[in-house]
Chains A and B, each alone.
Chain A
Amino acid sequence: MTAADAKPKKPNKALYKSDQDVRWCPGCGDYGILNAVQQVFAELGLDRDRTVLVSGIGCSSRFPYYMETYGMHSIHGRAPAIASGIKLANPELNVWVVTGDGDALSIGGNHFIHMLRRNIGLKVLLFNNRIYGLTKGQYSPTSEHGKVTKSTPFGSVDQPFNPLALAIGAGATFVARAVDVMGKHMREVLKAAAEHEGTAFVEIFQNCNIFNNGAYDPIVKKEVRDDMLVDVRHGEPLVYGKELDKGLVFDSFAVRPVKLGEPDEHGKVWTKEDLPVWNARDPNPALSFAMTQLREGIDPTAIGVIRSFDGRMPYDREVHLQIEEIRKARGDRDLESLIYAGNTWTVS
């Protein structure tokens, strides 16, 4: 703890601001995320001496420079691997990874899935702006099919990744989604991520106002947001809409929207009481996966904590438990006994 950290007091966001000028383009969605992270760190009272931010390459990856914590701005795609080394070396540290759609899902795709598979105790924020911003406007692995960018002048014929579906497929125990312009909601999601012991993965819809401006407008603009986003909350019914007049229901392993009080395609009339209650903690990820498959722009898009399963021990904890158990059972050794081991013989 630094002197400034010593006394408990009301959250002071400024503690987490470094002295470096923030150099994102004016109007970039990253500002909102930086603000939310600093606010959450302050509210959680995270010890700056025990907090590390690790990033790869891309606009979002400048993030650690702006945080008054420990940090490393590393190389393209490798932040999960570097952060894994930090967390394994010292599981007491709060280690947060900041990455983007290109960084995490393209060049760093392998590290991304293996980090999730291991369930190592990292918090991962993926700023998804569906474009390569730092290299000035090529399509990314989350750009939609047909998108015209500098490297797809006739429209992209490439299929995008769905980051949450990918994460669930890789065995993620915590997946969530937030939106850069919805600060309060984002802070709740970030807090939930901070509390999760294993890998906590948060996709953040982030607007790149230079190269992909308005990419999320059809679903996140104030006027449409209530009807186009569903904030799923564990233990609460899947209701949404400005008038809370819509809901999500399950057809075996698919999710579909319904209008309350009106007959659906099967003639069933749904009431709020009929709606399923969301279970983010289900060990079986099938419904969480289904929740990621809603058609963006047609169906509402799920945000909030979509999966939060705590039944698997984080990798870093198990690594250290194993070491502790073996040390307890066998004891430490001095160097001499290690070297003078096996079949030795003496020449006099």
Chain B
Amino acid sequence: MTSTTQTEGEAASARKIEHLEEAIIRFAGDSGDGMQLTGGEFTNNVALFGNDLATFPDYPAEIRAPAGTIPGVSAFQVRFSSFDIHTPGDKADVLVAMNPAALKVCLPQTKKGGIVLVNTGNFNKTDWTKAEFEADPLEDPDYLDGYKVLKVDLNHLTKETLKDSDLEGKAQLRCKNFAALGILFWIFNRDLEPTIRGIEERFGKKPEVAAANIAVLKAGYNYAETAELLHTTYQVEPAKLPSGTYRNIVGNQAMGLGLLAASKLSGVQLFLGSYPITPASEILQQLSGYKQDGVITFQAEDEIAGICSAIGASFAGKLAVTTSSGPGIALKTEAIGLAVMTELPLVIVNVQRGGPSTGLPTKTEQADLLQAVWGRNGECPVPVLAAATPADCFYMAIEAFRIATKYMTPVLLLSDGYLANGSEPWRLPRIEDLPKIEVRFHTEREGFLPYSRDPETLARPWAPPGTPGLHHRIGGLEKEDGTGNVSYDPENHFHMIKTREAKVQGIAKDIPEPEFFGEESGDLLVVGWGSTLGSITGGVNRAREEGLKVSRLHLRHVWPLPLSLKETFARFERILIPEMNLGQLHKVLASQIPAEYVPFSKVTGRPFSNIEIHEKIREVLR
């Protein structure tokens, strides 16, 4: 727990409350132990209290790997603070280990001197054997040396609390995660009330389960208080965030809201064609709940039908979107080409995950950038956008539809597993500050040509079936300029190839300047895209505090590249590009702008830490 500022005694109690600027907690247990739920409840509590926060769920691809084993460990990390933070942090200050496997997996990611709460109820011989320990780790003085270990039999505490409950034994035991949560709330001096309300809402249809969870939550809190588990408890004051109304938002949730917002802002009905895939499925689920807003969702038979139905809906005049992850995007590739050829507006969301092939479904990666920019047959230009934070998914979804409809083009919008499942406090926008999306359907019969072009944007007219008198045919064969009739003419083909390219490149004139921080020139510029924003910001800030001359720039519009990049890059000695891939943005930039690039790769399924970026900056500038 960094930066202990002051300690003070409290008159009423011998125990001290220590004030911290931030803390990192990692809840870890078996896949069935409810760690994501527990972490989520803790997060909501600190969010409502006004802390800044960032979260990092880390769960296995298997729904339920064999209970108690190492592959079955599911973890949720939350960092909360009294200042502005950008990442879920590195090592944890507090580890909650519900079983030996969780302890084994997560102890190396816990700070020496940190608190480790273990559920001794799950530490018998069978349990630690499953976690491949030779002996009971709690009996090994060296193993937990240097940690403040709190041994509590949460199973017993839970069963005792619920001995008069109507729930049967197994269901009782499922409440034990709330005992851990209660203890954590005591350690961090938190008010239980918002969480009790949260439980009541979540389990509204099962009041007996809600009551049991609440009883166990309180029991955990009271146990910690009575037993004085620690001599010192902790307090993290609210962050001094900019004024406004906030809510905690998860990336996929922000994406779903942003897609709906684009529909509301344009007045055009939203259509989603999609196929379930980790880690994008939540967007399909969320939009399926928006019937009241007129959203049409189509869970297609496969990824290809997902995008093809969206192309059909776009032709028919809807705001059409398809959502997926890398393997699904690979399947959609041919259809993206059709959307390019038919020049229909379409948003394709790729929530990237570890690849290639099935790869690491639940882990994050940024290795689909080259696929997005260049991964299709033929000269097939598509603008590529990338969200940078969980809340940013909201704004980028709107931006994707703005570009798609204004330029009559498919747009690839990249997110990743880290953004999709991570959360942050979102300062809610004023509706009047959101961009307008002006969709104009073509209705004028006089001189209508399906492939005529707006002289400024080069967009063709959008005339959905049902428009009187404008019946026309489009398709994947090369189009004659203007009429849209099939054409095999060599010069026409070359002309159309160049026109489609010019249309997409022309979008560069219509995008905001990339986010830039620091001096206008210097030794080093750190350039990032997508979800690395938080780590890069943290790392650059640390370096600047040391007096290093380093600035940073972040790309949300990855293709076409912002026009100003060339000039900006020329003012720096070197350009450092951290990416969760083997240097894909580096390859894109190097193909367009000569500069002294230093690619920096990490492809482990986990995001960069501030420290890794900071150390790399120091290494480069050494």
B-binding residues in A (CB < 8 A) = 1-3, 18, 20, 48-52, 54, 57, 64-65, 67-75, 78, 80-90, 92-93, 110-111, 114, 319, 322-323, 326-327, 330-336, 338-348
Contacts and interface: CB of A to CB of B under 8 A. Distances in A.
Nearest to A80: B305
B37 to A, nearest CB: 15
Contacts of B241: 347
29 contacts: A49-B466, A49-B469, A49-B470, A65-B485, A71-B473, A74-B311, A75-B334, A75-B338, A81-B273, A84-B309, A85-B273, A85-B308, A85-B310, A86-B316, A89-B312, A92-B466, A93-B316, A93-B465, A110-B301, A326-B291, A333-B292, A338-B293, A339-B428, A339-B431, A343-B48, A344-B246, A345-B246, A345-B247, A346-B243
Interface in B37-90: 44, 47-48, 50
A341 B469 CA distance: 44
B429 interface: yes
Interface of B is mostly: mixed
A239 B148 CA distance: 90
Nearest to B306: A81
Given A2-B468, A18-B473, A85-B316, 11 more contacts: A65-B486, A71-B472, A71-B473, A81-B300, A85-B315, A332-B292, A335-B265, A338-B293, A339-B429, A343-B248, A345-B247
Contacts of A64: 473, 475
Contacts of A327: 291-292, 294
B296 A319 contact: yes
B257 interface: yes
Interface in B279-334: 291-294, 296, 298, 300-302, 304-305, 308-318, 320, 334
B485 A20 contact: yes
Contacts of A333: 292-293
A347 B243 contact: yes
Interface in B325-360: 334-335, 337-338, 342
A345 B245 contact: yes
Most A CB contacts (10 A, CB to CB) among B304, B466, B471, B485 go to B471
B485 A89 contact: no
B469 to A, nearest CB: 4
B313 A85 contact: yes
A117 to B, nearest CB: 9
A75 B292 contact: no
Contacts of A18: 473
Contacts of B506: none
Q: How large is the interface on B (under 10, 10 to 19, 20 to 34, 35 or more residues)?
A: 35 or more
A49 B465 contact: yes
Interface of B: 44, 47-48, 50, 194, 198, 238, 241-248, 257, 260-261, 264-265, 269, 271, 273, 291-294, 296, 298, 300-302, 304-305, 308-318, 320, 334-335, 337-338, 342, 428-429, 431, 434, 464-477, 485-486
Nearest to B469: A2
5 tightest CB-CB pairs across the interface, nearest first? Answer: A85-B312, A73-B475, A85-B309, A81-B308, A89-B316
Of B269, B314, B315, which is in contact with the most chain A CB atoms at under 10 Å from its CB? B315
B292 A84 contact: no
Nearest to B434: A335
Given A64-B473, A65-B475, A89-B271, A344 B428 contact: yes
Contacts of B300: 81, 84, 114
